[in-house]
Amino acid sequence: MPTIPPLMLERRLDSRIWGGHQLGAWLGLDDAPSKLAESWQVYEHNRVCGGPFAGQTLAEVAAEYGAALVGTRSFARYGAEFPLLAKFIDAADNLSVQVHPDDEYAHREAAASGFHGKTEAWYILRAESGAEIIHGLARPTDRATFAAAVENGTLMNLLRRVPVKAGDTIFVPAGTVHAINAGILLFEIQQKSDLTYRVYDYDRRDDQGKPRELHLEQALEVIDYGAPSQDVRPQLLGEGRTLLVECPYFAMERWDLSAAREVATAAESFELLTVIDGRVDLIWERAIYPLQAGASIVLPASLGAYCLQPAATATILRCYVPSGG
């Protein structure tokens, strides 16, 4: 299996009607666009910065090297696709109430899009006092009741509102009605899908003055109307490692570093590292990759041994494809 070096990628910055100024400042961007809402840190169409693959997209490298990049688990399931998308989200205003389909629905009803379903998880980086999310239903319901609530303006009575604070982890499986509300900065790991069905958008209008598009019929098809969503229970793994969430598509761990740590990738999966506090040098062979808060890096499955050297202390999020994937 050929060895591929660590891959730093260009960010994709997206503005939205609900974006703000917190993300640009946190990333240290001098020329951040107005209403910056999302920074797509790792995505298959992002281009590699530096090294032998400079200028190529992550998808192009994956197509050439297959399991050497994505790992044997992901390759067995998705082939040479890079399966995950990692982003930061800054919600200065409420996001729309929305839902994502599962793989079965996406492949059947939205095959032309080329997307799979979308399960995601959030790690809250900052939250203003009183900030909350919408996460599933307050109680089980059915399609007719939900549709009637949308029509008569009582939808919010059916939804589960959850206060959040920095350090919380939220798991959002496909079919879960959800929304990030104002005053929250977070990291999101997700399946690399952009299938989103808006249910309610506070009657907002786009830049052309038109009401933002809703997708109620599709949403009603994919919503899970059953039991209310459950909160995740992080699991301490020892040595400053915490498993925040794990599902068939991804796992996310938090690593709190206070000293150098020798690590190695495994052939089964790539690793996606994102620094959320402090600074750390990633050392591989004779190369040093300095990473500060807001930086992400892809470690190919074939990389092998590397070292994480924090400057004093640092915290990273580590994402990968688990054995269930």
Catalytic residues: 198
- Pick from 4, 13, 12, 9: nearest CA to 50: 9
Q: Tokens in use for 104?
A: 């079965």
CB-CB contact of 224 with 280 (8 Å)? no
| Gap between the Cα atoms of 294 and 290, Å rounded | 12
Distance CA 70, CA 325 (A): 12
Residues 252 and 317: beta-carbon distance below 8 Å:
yes
Strand 169-172: give its sheet, edge to edge: 12-20, 36-42, 84-91, 184-191, 120-127, 169-172
Query: From CA 279, how far away is CA 314, in angstroms rounded?
Result: 6
